[in-house]
Amino acid sequence: MLYQRSSQLFAEAEKVIPGGVNSPVRAFKGVGGTPIFAKSAKGAYVYDEDGNRYIDYINSWGPMILGHAFQPVVDAVIEKTKLGTSFGMPTELETKIADLAVSMVPNIDKIRFVSSGTEACMSAIRLARGFTKKDKIIKFAGCYHGHSDSFLIQAGSGASTFGTPNSPGVTQGTAKDTLLANYNNIENVKSLFESNKNEIAAIIIEPVAGNMGCIPPKEGFLEDLRQVCDINNALLIFDEVMTGFRLAKGGAQELFSVEADIVCFGKVIGGGLPVGAFAARNEIMNYLSPLGPVYQAGTLSGNPLAMAAGFAMLQSLNDDKNVFNRLENKTAYLHKGIQDVLSKNSIDFTINRVGSMISVHFDKNPVYDFNTAKNGDNDTFKKFFHGLLKEGVYIAPSAYETWFITDALTYEDLDFTIQAIDKVSKQL
């Protein structure tokens, strides 16, 4: 494949944008080489500026669960655009999407829309702190909750890829209120509660971790967190920015039958436009301004184009009784295919998967937290990534990312992918 135009565009971008990108993981720093510049996308495919086509396993990092340029979303955005793109006044559509989200997700009465997952998580912990009148939060190493200060302590995703788990610019004062535990380690969590009696406002967790590869919660782990929170008067926050409207209509709460106190959304809920949201039962949500004392706002929050895209997306997911089954089946098929060819080619690997989130780790031992995720062989991953790219298969340019399966993928696409992986494995 030729990457001439992408290389040129990247050189130009680097002059005026730090690192040539507006979000670090796009820069290919974790795998080396020059990022490819996207020109267009449709269904399961993305096309670059040089005219190459790729089967896309990133899907804008999750939102395109029904494929790129999904017609109902495209139509809804075009129609809305003609009516004006922002008012800074309430609109009927905001209530419609809120109603729909509340009907799909268990255990929430009210929802507030923001413009990114980062904002959703940032606002959720402020609300939790205001509501409980306590300052500290527990987060898990390798979990990513966006880039606000409180979360940039051993965060996953790009923060892991670049080996700067603790960003300069986050003050000691902020960092001391974020307590760290290991994913899937309940003893860790319990001892933090013991040593910080009556100081912990909330636990925030990705109920299925997706920013250190895909890491499922161990049997009983989420239930245990629920119990520890109840005993200690702390709130349980599920960051479902990745899992929401992906693992099931009602997200991880539905899949695992565990109730969270506050739930954060992003990615799928915006159908590819900038949307985030956080939701909870009335008692908690009524603590938000203008009803309550916890302040939170946004000039473009509930933006009509964003709400039109999100509403069309949620409606499609809500109306299609089989979509989550199809996603499960397609991903299971891919899972088995990859497992077979990697085994056949004597590669050491572990595959983790929950529903349509899947990750391949180049390590034969179980991967269940950030430490075990770091054991993967990164040199093998780099070769794997570039090999697949050459074959026309685009996975995330970092070993710490989940693959996002889209319903637009056909079984032919999956077979093509498995064959490409077979070919690439022979060169690892």
Ligand X SMILES: *Cc1c(COP(=O)(O)O)cnc(C)c1O
Residues that bind ligand X (CB under 6 A): 116-118, 121, 144-146, 206, 210-211, 239, 241-242, 266, 276
Q: Point out the residue whose Cβ comes nearest to ligand X.
A: 117
Handedness of CA 52, 53, 55, 57 (dihedral sign): positive
CA distances from 195 to 1, 15, 380 (A): 56, 49, 41
Q: In the complex with ligand X, which residue's Cβ is closer, 206 or 261?
A: 206
214 or 421, CB closer to ligand X?
Answer: 214
- Give whichever of 210 and 271 is closer to ligand X, judged by the CB atom: 210
Measured distance CA(205)–CA(57) in Å, rounded: 24
Tokens of residue 278, six digits: 């956080």
Closest to 110 measured CA to CA, from 309, 298, 288: 288
Nearer to ligand X, 211 or 303 (CB): 211
CB 373 within 8 A of CB 360: no
The question of whether 57 is a catalytic residue gets the answer no
**Torsion sign (Cα): 151, 154, 157, 158:** positive
What gap in Å lies between CA 372 and CA 189, rounded to an integer? 18
How many C-beta neighbours within 10 Å does residue 316 have?
A: 18
Q: Token pair 């013991």 is at which residue? A: 194
- The one catalytic residue among 48, 239, 407, 413: 239
Residues forming beta bridges with residue 179, ordered by sequence position: 138
| DSSP secondary structure code for residue 217 in this structure | P
Q: How far is the CB of 387 from ligand X (least distance, A)?
A: 26
HSE-up (13 A, CA, CB side) for residue 63: 24
Cβ proximity to ligand X, 116 vs 380, nearer residue: 116
| Residue among 3, 45, 54, 144 flagged as catalytic | 144
Judged on CB neighbours under 10 Å (0-12, 13-18, 19+), 343 is exposed
The rounded distance, in Å, linking the Cα atoms of 290 and 191 is 37
Shorter beta-carbon distance to ligand X: residue 212 or 414:
212
Nearer to ligand X, 3 or 151 (CB): 151
Tell the smallest beta-carbon distance from residue 370 to ligand X (Å): 14
Residue among 412, 242, 421, 419 at smallest CA distance from 349: 421
What is the smallest separation between the CB atom of 148 and ligand X, expressed in angstroms? Answer: 9
Whether the CB-CB separation of 146 and 334 falls below 8 Å is answered with: no
Cis peptide before 165 (omega within 30 of 0): no
Residue whose CB is less far from ligand X, 310 or 387: 310
Helical H runs in 270-303? Answer: 282-285
* 111/421 with CB nearer ligand X: 111
Closest alpha carbon to 267 in 409, 116, 122: 116
* Residue among 267, 368, 382, 394 flagged as catalytic: 267
In whole angstroms, the minimum distance from the beta carbon of 117 to ligand X comes to 2
Helix (H/G/I), strand (E/B), else coil: 195: helix
Q: Is 368 annotated as catalytic?
A: no
Q: How far is the CB of 268 from ligand X (least distance, A)?
A: 11
Angle between helical axes of 323-344 and 411-425 (0-180°, round to 10)? 20
Beta carbon of residue 275, minimum distance to ligand X (angstroms, whole number): 8
411 is catalytic: no
Q: How far is the CB of 405 from ligand X (least distance, A)?
A: 15
Q: How far is the CB of 147 from ligand X (least distance, A)?
A: 7
**Separation between Cα atoms, residue 165 and residue 155, nearest integer Å:** 6
CB of 209 to ligand X, least distance (A): 8
Nearest to residue 203, comparing CAs of 128, 142, 144, 147? 128
Catalytic residue numbers, as ranges = 144, 239, 267
